[in-house]
Chain A
Amino acid sequence: MNFDLSDEQKMLAEQANGLLAERSPPDRLRQLIDAGAEWDEPLWRELAEMGFLGAAIPEQFGGVGMTRLDLAVISEELGRANAALPFFSSIVLAAEAIMLAGSEEQKARWLPALASGDTIATFAYAEGPGGWTADVLTAQVRDGVLDGQKGPVADAGIASLAIVLAHDGSGQPTLGLVSLDHPGVTRTKLASFDQLRAHYELRFDGVPFEPLAAAPADEVLAKLFDLAAVQAAFEAVGGADACLKMARDYAMDRQIFGRPLAGYQAIKHKLADIFVAIELARSSAFYAAWAATYGEEELPAAAAAARLSATGAFEQAARENIQVHGGIGYTFEANCHFYYRRERTLATAIGNREVWANRLIDSFLTQNANVAEVA
């Protein structure tokens, strides 16, 4: 057994970490917020040049052809830096959807543009609260044309392409490519809790819809979200780790009643618990990334478990980080708030705790169906 990243993966992490620490420090994030920017465009270009965007896209489609585990290493670093990039929308969701379900022609048309960063895509599945099963979807495709409303959709202000989940009139879900530059698309910007990730409502009035047809949409969607959950888990672990380090460093410096705040057990034990939560979550994320790469059958349960653990760890770390900082933590000048906001975004994107708890239980039962019959 060798349950660790390879030396190459560790180097990849270092590379990504170095770039992001230099180009996307907290002051840069504050600058972007003040400028009302929806992303860090120059940073996106640099990531593309380093091959990070196309890491898991096959070489024949303009990518680097590495595994999803390698992509996860990058996701963790993006989480640590709290980067303002459409990586999750464009790479983790849209590019992966095309890889899973696109025709060869669709892959050849879109993947190179996504890997190079020239095209930004997003993934439109939600229609407000109430889930996204076919029976509740209102967005509808008829004769190759999409009508209806989707939202919130992340990064839809900067994306030119969307993969949209709709129903086909007969109660079946369908996934397809939609150009957001078509005149029948209306984009309305929403107030976004995460100041570094914009969300939009999209209206479609008679917009051409090109199905991704290599597999039934519900199967594609389930697999896609499992894979995305793995990346989200790494991103959350990265964010949680950044919070823990920040809280620890602050507590070491801060003098209270004549000694460092870090010397008080209330703080030591709080941070020890967060460390445990992070390392447990990281372990499950490793396993899920391994399953995403090599172990199809284990993926659904492994992804759900990693998702739940990582979300919990980030939640705890983001909240307690502000707490340890005291009043400073409540200021825009301190860096805690980026993570406090991003954490909620990650915790709700691609399904909240309830969704993933159900996914975990259901996939556990499927995976162990024979055991249940014996018992």
Chain B
Amino acid sequence: MDFTDSPEEAAFRTEARNWLNANAPAHELPRGVTLDDADEVARGTAWQRRLAEAGYAGILLPQALGGRGGTIMEAVVFGEEEARFNLPKGPYIIIGLSMALPVIAKHGTPEQIERFAAATLLGDLTWCQLFSEPAAGSDLAAVRTRAVKDGDDWVVNGQKVWSSWAHLSDWGILIARTDPSLPKHKGLSFFVVDMKTPGIDVRPIRQISGASDFNETFFTDVRIPDSCRIGAVGEGWACAMTVLTGERLNQGGSDNGEGIGGLIHYAARTPRGRGTALDSEAVRLSLAMAYAEEQAERHFQSRMRTMVSRGENPGAMAAVVKLAFASRYQKTAGLAMELREMAGIAHRPEEADTARIWYDYIWSTALRIAGGADEVLRNQISERVLGMPGDIRADKNVPFDQL
């Protein structure tokens, strides 16, 4: 067992750190300030371009696709070093890098790779994910949005929902039903779509956070050229799985705050009676339990990294990180509010700390739903790791149009 960097890792870390120290500060987002969405995307693409120019965009992507062709450990090391800065890396960047690029690279044609890979790496193309629908979330294969072949085009009609940053994305990855006479997983195909195509109507949804960064996306007779189909007709589900695997590996692990350690320090300097809040046994116990859980996640991730760097597939183990992280994140923020007593639920405008905790407490609810809801992850762990039977599926092998 060895926690120190290997000589190669250490050399790469030094290289990454030096480069980031010289380049990242100019791109950092101001803390405690809410930027206009368009401004944030512009900053995100500018940072992405800087990374690409220096050869740090797409570390895992083969060099033939414009990536670095690096190792998983390099990606991990770079990610750790990059996370020390408050950089603009929202869904508008991540969806392109960890969903669109992998699916295009794996299922796309050489022309499609040529057309999209470099532009995405350079930040010239931003992407949104057009998967979920009002009647298809965890049960993604239930999508109803229809794509019907018409000459060299597909004509798409339907409604997508929860499309993050679709209002500011250049392109979208889309899953639609091309053959309703087949059972639900089989009749799907995968497309990329230019968000400026006529017939696409993106309407913001007001979120519980107050922001509106996800949307309803309506498709009315939208024409998508067949050259924008990724993979074969009917291969949509396999493409979607490629996307979701990339998504899963990217999740979980670190919140942007100081974590439980920050809360312990907070309690230690918050007066209570003659001492501090940390003199209370109840406070100590809840902080200690939360801290133990947080550290355990960190160490679990180290184990997963070790597996990945040996070329082993962590499979459903990635679900463990996401499942544990989202709930712990929610618990931590809730605890942070309680520790502040009434000041945790009402603060002066300038108190950015409390505002950040509120953001965490609200955002944690989304993390428990998006990218594999808690219950779905528990199913995955019990079925794929523990080998327990799958749920009974009433719709299995039934043609979609007869459901």
Contacts and interface: CB of A to CB of B under 8 A. Distances in A.
Interface stretch (A90-98, A131-139, A154-162, A364-372): A364-372
A31 interface: no
A97 B200 CA distance: 73
A272 to B, nearest CB: 4
Chain A binding surface, main DSSP class: helix
Given A1-B2, A2-B306, A286-B1, A308 B378 contact: no
A69 B387 CA distance: 30
Given A3-B3, A283-B302, A262 B293 contact: no
A279 B386 CA distance: 13
Interface string B132-149: 000000000000000000
Interface in A273-312: 273, 275-276, 279-281, 283-284, 286-287, 289-290, 293, 301-302, 304-306, 308-309, 312
Given A290-B3, A365-B264, A365-B268, A308 B303 contact: no
B292 A308 contact: yes
B390 to A, nearest CB: 8
B303 A262 contact: no
A280 B324 contact: yes
A69 B303 CA distance: 16
A143 interface: no
Interface stretch (B59-67, B156-164, B283-291): B283-291
A6 interface: yes
A60 interface: no
Contacts of B299: 3, 280, 283-284, 286-287
A271 B382 contact: yes
B292 A305 contact: yes
Given A275-B385, A284-B296, A372-B269, A361 B287 contact: yes
Nearest to A248: B386
A357 B292 CA distance: 9
Contact of B388 (A2, A268, A312, A360): A268
B1 A6 contact: yes
Contacts of B375: 265, 269
Interface string B269-300: 10000000010010011011101110111011
A69 to B, nearest CB: 6
A25 interface: no
Interface in A236-290: 244, 248, 251-252, 259-260, 262-263, 265, 267-269, 271-273, 275-276, 279-281, 283-284, 286-287, 289-290
A262 B292 contact: no
A357 B3 contact: no
Given A286-B299, A308-B292, A309-B296, A361 B386 contact: no
A265 B379 contact: yes
A356 interface: yes
A354 B281 contact: yes
Q: Which of A3, A287, A364: most chain B CB closer than 10 A?
A: A3
A356 to B, nearest CB: 7
Interface in B387-401: 387-392
Given A3-B3, A3-B299, A279-B320, A305 B269 contact: no
Given A360-B288, A361-B287, A3 B382 contact: no
Interface in A115-135: none
B288 A361 contact: yes
B305 interface: yes
B4 interface: yes
A2 to B, nearest CB: 5
A283 B306 CA distance: 12
Nearest to A269: B378
B261 interface: yes
Interface string B314-329: 0001001001100000
Contacts of A35: none
B382 to A, nearest CB: 4
A5 interface: yes
B9 interface: yes
Contacts of B1: 2-6, 69, 286, 289-290, 293
Contact of A280 (B285, B300, B309): B300
Nearest to A307: B292
A319 to B, nearest CB: 17
A259 B377 CA distance: 22
Contact of B295 (A5, A248, A305, A371): A305
Q: Which of A252, A262, A286, A364: most chain B CB closer than 10 A?
A: A364
Contacts of B285: 353-354, 357
Counting contact residues on chain A (CB < 8 A from B), the size range is 35 or more
Interface string B237-269: 000000000000000000000000100110011
A358 interface: yes
Contact of A3 (B281, B287, B295, B306): B306
Interface residues of B, number: 53
Contact of A262 (B307, B317, B389): B389
Nearest to B4: A1
B382 A269 contact: yes
Nearest to B281: A354
Nearest to A252: B388
A309 B293 contact: yes
B53 interface: no
B296 A357 contact: no
Interface string B352-391: 0000000000000000000000010111011101111111
Contacts of A191: none
Contacts of A293: 1
Nearest to B305: A1
Contacts of A272: 323, 377-379, 381-382, 385-386
Q: Which of B288, B378, B391: most chain A CB closer than 10 A?
A: B288
B37 interface: no
A252 B382 CA distance: 12
B338 interface: no
Q: Which of B307, B324, B381, B383: most chain A CB closer than 10 A?
A: B381
Nearest to B2: A2
Nearest to B307: A4
A248 B379 CA distance: 14
A91 B9 CA distance: 39
Given A1-B309, A308-B289, A357-B288, 4 more contacts: A262-B388, A308-B288, A360-B292, A371-B261
The 5 closest A-B pairs by CB, nearest first: A357-B288, A283-B299, A268-B382, A280-B296, A263-B389
29 contacts: A1-B5, A1-B305, A3-B1, A69-B1, A248-B388, A259-B389, A267-B388, A268-B379, A272-B385, A273-B378, A275-B320, A275-B382, A276-B381, A279-B317, A280-B296, A280-B324, A283-B297, A283-B303, A284-B292, A286-B1, A287-B295, A302-B295, A308-B289, A309-B293, A357-B288, A360-B292, A361-B278, A361-B287, A372-B269
